[in-house]
Structure 1
Amino acid sequence: MAAPVLALQDARITFGGGDLFNGISLGIEPGMRIALVGRNGSGKSTLLKAIAGDIELDGGDRFLQAGTRVGYLKQQPDIVPGRTVAEQVQQGLSPDLTADGMETGYLVDQVLEGVGIDGSRLLETLSGGEARRVSLAEALVSDPDVLLLDEPTNHLDIKTILWLEEELKGFRGALMVISHDRQFLKNLTNRLFWLDRGKLRTHGKGFSAFDEWSEEILRGEEVELKKLDKKIAEETDWSRKGITARRARNEGRIRALHRLRAERQERTSRVGNAKLEVASGSKSGKVVIEAKDISKTFTDEDGNEKTVIKNFSSRIMRGDRVGIIGANGAGKTTLLNMFMQKLAPDTGFVKLGTNLTEAVFDQQRESLDPEESLWDTLADPGSGQLLVKGEVRHVVAYLRDFLFDEKQAKSPVKSLSGGEKNRLLLAKLLARESNLLVLDEPTNDLDMETLDLLQDMLASYDGTLLVISHDRDFLDQLVSSVIVIDPGGDIEEYVGGYSDYVRQRTHLEIPKAKKGLPEKTVASKPKQARKRLSYKDQRDLDRLPDVIGALEEQIKSMEKALGDPDLFTKQPDQFNKISKELVVAQEKLALSEERWLELEILQEEMTG
């Protein structure tokens, strides 16, 4: 085992009158590629600052081997007015690199090309996301022995994230990274540091092992849970639910998502035989968005034209889950605005279906009043209640669902962090009745627990979903197809999630959704098919809606019972009994929904 080049011994940081963490010891050795994980507010960023030497410890010691260079990417970059991007990045060059201007200029230009920023721009002209990319370039160009990265993928598009992954795979030093991007962590890390309730746990494998490892630890703690006081019990139970939810959702819900993808792939070959007038008339609401040969070109201040969308056609049906991806500035939001008829196309047309009730998440959070409290943002000020999908909820209980503390209920929106504002906006949107949910970059600034929460909610959403995101795992978990916008306006639609798109793009034998609406083709002679369902299938199709409804009511009742904080502390056996029954009911529901969907598709095929 190599000697650590950087270490903390019995480290303590005090915050707000108490210890954020205490007694933490760790060592970073050459070759370590560490994922630092933990729920929001656990102190990950503070710990990273302490490791970087950016803040002083309140107790304990920090050791740095002589000659070791440390590179540190902060969440919030420093802006020096009047300084160019290139000048800022040059600050990161280490003193022992060659002083030759051409050589250092080449290094700076190379890394700026990777992050996609013009070196001649002034720092004060950059957006928040662009300034973050400059800080990333400054950290990378320093060629440190230890590189510490705090949320490096925030506000980066997928192309830049992939570039960063390749850069870091070739990085020779030790790496420690905080990120909500699971795929990024899986691809890069070989160690785990888990900061949980003030303790640091370590594991000799990378992030891919986190779910199984953490769940094993928390299962062991359940025995001790009964001995803890109510507050600690609630915190530990919350943490356990946040982690096990990831594994639970990967059963029935992911199977259902694969069925949706298969159905969409099949429909892309049949859609040319359908008539829009019939679908939006006799089958009201089945077609959500019809786009035909749409294009959009913008003219900049110098009179140069830039085509962002070129001759694209698509039909989005009820229940589809469509992801939109592309580089920053490629035209993703433009396409979304044309889909929603907020922006007129230069050519072609967009037609919205009937009976649409929209809920839109804007990445600028313009629908939030910074002076208004969380309570007033969500609920009637007098009663403190709101209607959530037909059910009356108290605002504090609903805020807890979105990981807010009850003490925050009366705080103004402006006091929240970026991630918390995103959570509040999602809470506001998801409380509304809607059948079309439009999300523009919903995952920015969200931690993993909030991403889990969002994925679970969206996985059970029964309407149509349009989402722009650079989070590959998020897309893989949720969408039935992706629309990919390339520079110059070329646009293609692929069945499946992000990983499916990558496989199809590299010409593996996976069917690709055709661009636009397919033309009618001469069909091959079909196999002889049954003209109607068998007696057993028809019986199942008739009875399953009632079975599903009963299971949903049963699950809702059990979830309500488990939501009572007194149940766990006063009747732990009853709590465990209901928890086990809930898992069984959820599995039955997933299987019943799967069988019903299979029969619905089969009957539709038989009736033409």
Structure 2
Amino acid sequence: MLRGLPFPADPLYMRGDMAPPPLLLLTDIRLNFGTTPLLAGASLGVGAGERLTLVGRNGSGKSTLLKIAAGLAEPDGGTRFVQPGATVRYLPQEPDLSGFPTTLAYVESGLGPGDDPYRARYLLEQLGLSGEETPAVLSGGEARRAALARVLAPQPDILLLDEPTNHLDLPAIEWLEGELRSLRSALVLISHDRRFLENLSRAMVWLDRGVTRRLDQGFAHFEAWRDQVLEDEEREAHKLTRKIAREEDWLRYGVTARRKRNVRRLGELHDLRKRRRERVGALGKVSMAAAEAGGSGSLVVSAEEISKTYDGRTVVAPFSTRVLRGDRVGIVGPNGAGKTTLLNMLTGNLPPDSGEIRLGTGLEMVSLDQRRASLDPAMTLQKALTGDDSDLVHVGGTARHVIGYMKDFLFPPEQARTPLGVLSGGERGRVMLARAMARPSNLLVLDEPTNDLDLETLDLLQELIADYAGTVLLVSHDRDFLDRCTTSVIAYEGAGRWQEYAGGYSDMVAQRGHGVQARASASTLAPARSTPAPLPQAGEALAGPRRLNMREREALKTLPARMDKLHAEIRKLGEILADPGLYARDKPRFDKASAMLAERQAELAKAEEEWLELEMLREAAEGN
């Protein structure tokens, strides 16, 4: 039995001792796609000034329900009521600006007779647009900003916002939060940005298996409530199964007694079986684990005074950092600041104009890019996962059937032959994750990994990063995701300057005094901080950092090649010992290889430690 707070019918709202009637009410909304029910009695009530969040899995029907609320889609059944005179504005996931000569004309087309025309220009300016842009050449982020200005300008009674933070950078997201808080409009939000929801929501509507449940508390309370609902439902399912088993036992052994009672009980059994058939089980959970390769060296990335300039504009001013094994480093900044450029330099995919990048030994890198560029729309889901349209996916060297692996990422078997081009944005995001997680790695590079993912998939991605033994470099605008996943944050400071802060996004704000700014004045910024030099040893404090002697300079030069050689030997010995029959077949060789492996691992650890100490001494002496 589905549980939760039911939505009242219209007459209940009209009682004098209750709250005033809602501005918008959807009741018993039903909609099928073919023979599959998407909405099976969903309801939504929005009162004046309410702040609602609509949550649910990707594909659960949230966007469809919001379109029905906006009057842009017709359900198969149910009713939609809007208070006479109430104004409603709707922000779609993909706004259509075609047919308008400028962004200002597009925004002004959403104004009513009594609306303030100056507010349209004001909002565009606040969102970084002049109003003279040609819509056809706008980026996804610019189109989203124009669409936001269009729905915000009239200050309507009800705002229906579908993923309003998509394609927005952190300054724009934080501005939008402030703007929405200042409005008297009722809000219905769909978003995967937890911090955004925590800051704005006052009630939750959970769309699950076609029906809605309401919680009159904010997002911070939602997950505990949802889990309790599912636990209660599971207990009900077990009780139903036990009752059916008892009735079936009676049917087999007691059907000859007192016929009238038997007929009634037989009818009850049929009813119970019908309830079980009609009960839609809770959707499975994403099962996500990265296939991990052997360990990398202690040093993963060393960047020394790297810089990058495009067309005379400094994207990265001289910047230094060091990334060690196990670090989780986030990169944040406004759109166009150069986050992806910096990420590509740190991973060796883009050479710096000046300075030096050194990558550690034994790195096996897996990347997830924000553009989903590697997904061929004509390719089937099965081929995207297997690579050759076979039945097997190789996950960390282990063969798995593609259908089982698809289920781990919530794809039903019938989607195996579905072209990627017809999948939703969230589904394509899960395909990218599934492909990335199958490849062995010790360095995960994630560029906007949270785009289009639902909250539960985001939870599991966060758990994956927490459990991952390797190193993670990521770009994200999701503040909650950064807080949960990063050990340090590299933030844009303006004029190409970047600075690293220990901790997550909130720690960065605490140290910095503010979040990511859209435009920073170069004159007010401190120079970008390089990696701090180590604390001086006893006896060095007064004399200052000493220079490397000749032996140390030679060691610093030759140690990287030595570490590469040791890592190759360790890998070869590991392959020998991976033979399951070696111990029984040739114990002396097994013992010798084991001893050599331990010896080489110790040598590698010593070499890495020596190299790091010398590198830090060199940086301190040169004042890097």
3-state SS of the aligned residue for 1:236?
coil
**Cα 1:392–1:233 shift into 2, 3 Å:** farther
Instruction: Determine the structure 2 residue equivalent to 1:4.
Output: 22
Say if 1:35 and 1:189, in contact at 8 Å, map to a contact too.
Answer: yes
Matched, 1:363 2:377: no
Structure 1 residue 27 corresponds to structure 2 residue 39:
no
Q: Which moved more, 1:223-232 or 1:24-33?
A: 223-232
Identity of aligned residues (%): 49
Q: 2:264 — aligned with what?
A: none
For structure 2, the 5+ residue unaligned runs are: 1-18, 242-272, 290-294, 516-525, 541-604, 614-624
Distance in structure 1 (CA, Å) of the matches to 2:100 and 2:182: 34
Q: Output one character per residue of 1:482-538: Cα deviation in whole Å (capped at 9) or x when no partner.
A: 110133112111111111111111299xxx9x9212235445799xxxxxxxxxxxx
The 3 A distance-change label for structure 1 pair 234 and 494 is farther
**Residues 1:451 and 2:458 are matched in the alignment:** yes
- 1:20-69: CA deviation from partner (whole Å, max 9, x where unpaired): 22333332111210011111111111111111111123222211112111
Determine helix, strand or coil for the equivalent of 2:363.
coil
State whether structure 2 residue 409 is matched by structure 1 residue 402: yes
How far apart are residue 132 of structure 1 and its match?
A: 2.0
Residue of structure 2 in register with 1:93 after alignment: 111
Q: Rate the CA distance shift 1:461–1:475 in 2: closer, same or farther, 3 A.
A: same
Partner amino acid, structure 2, of 1:7: L
What residue is the counterpart of 1:326 in the other structure? 333
Which residue number in structure 2 is paired with residue 288 of structure 1?
300
SS in 1 for 2:465: helix
Cα distance change of structure 1 residues 313 and 233 upon mapping to structure 2, 3 Å threshold? farther
- Alignment map for 1:490-569 (pairs within 5 Å): 490-506=497-513, 515-522=529-536
1:339-418 pair list within 5 angstroms: 339-379=346-386, 381=388, 383-418=390-425
Contact 2:63–2:162 (Cα < 8 Å) also in 1: yes
Q: Distance in 2 between matches of 1:382 and 1:121?
A: 45
Q: Is the 1:323–1:469 Cα contact (8 Å) retained in structure 2?
A: yes
Structure 2 CA distance, aligned partners of 1:371 and 1:284? 36
In structure 2, the residue matched to 1:37 is: 55
Change (3 A) 1:123 1:284: closer
In structure 2, what residue type is equivalent to 1:79?
Answer: L
CA distance in 2, matches of 1:401, 1:138: 40
- Rounded to whole Å, the distance in 1 between the matches of 2:463 and 2:296 is 28
Q: TM-score, normalised by structure 2?
A: 0.72
2:198 matched to 1:186? yes
CA distance change for structure 1 residues 495 and 405 in 2, over 3 Å: closer, same or farther?
same
Match of 1:164 among 165, 176, 185: 176
Matches within 5 A, 1:155-304: 155-226=167-238, 227=240, 235-236=281-282, 238=284, 241=285, 285-299=297-311
Q: Which residue of 1 aligns with 2:589?
A: none
Equivalent of 2:485 in 462, 478, 482: 478
* 2:154 equivalent to 1:142: yes
Tell me the distance in 1 between the aligned counterparts of 2:436 and 2:153: 42
Q: 1:394 and 1:93 mapped to 2: Cα distance?
A: 55
Q: What secondary structure is seen at the aligned counterpart in 1 of 2:446?
A: strand
1:14 to 2:32 alignment? yes
Deviates more, 1:19-28 or 1:38-47: 19-28
Q: CA shift at 1:166, angstroms?
A: 0.3
The structure number with the bigger radius of gyration is 2
- Aligned residues of 1:402 and 1:453 also touching (Cα < 8 A): no
Deviation at 1:82, TM superposition (A): 5.0
* Matched-pair contact (CA < 8 Å) for 1:485–1:491: yes
Tell me the CA shift for residue 79 of structure 1: 2.5
* Runs of 5+ unmatched residues, structure 1: 99-103, 250-282, 300-304, 527-599
Report if the CA contact (8 A) 2:203-2:216 is conserved.
yes
- How far off its partner does 1:176 sit? 0.5
Q: Deviations over 1:386-430 (max 9, x none)?
A: 221232211111111111111111112222122211211111111
CA displacement 1:234-293 (0-9 Å, x = unmatched): 84162xx57xx99xx9xxxxxxxxxxxxxxxxxxxxxxxxxxxxxxxxx97111111011
List, as ranges, runs of 4+ consecutive aligned residues in structure 1 with deviation greater than 6 Å. Answer: 228-234
Instruction: Indicate conservation of the 8 Å contact 1:81/1:124, yes or no.
Output: no
Q: What is the identity, as a one-letter code, of the residue corresponding to 1:88?
A: Y
Deviation at 1:346, TM superposition (A): 2.0
Q: 1:89–1:135: 8 Å Cα contact kept in structure 2?
A: yes
Report how far residue 437 of structure 1 moved: 1.0
- Decide whether the 8 Å contact of 1:20 with 1:198 is kept in 2: yes
Matched residue, 1:75: 93
Q: Counterparts in 2 of 1:100-111, with a 5 A limit?
A: 104=117, 106-111=118-123
How many residues are aligned here?
A: 476
Normalised TM-score (structure 1): 0.74
Give the 3-state SS of the residue equivalent to 1:486 in structure 2: strand
Residue 124 of structure 2 is matched in structure 1 by 112
1:458 positional shift = 2.2
Partners of 1:350 and 1:140 in 2: CA distance: 46
CA separation of 1:82 and 1:389: change in aligned 2, threshold 3 A: same
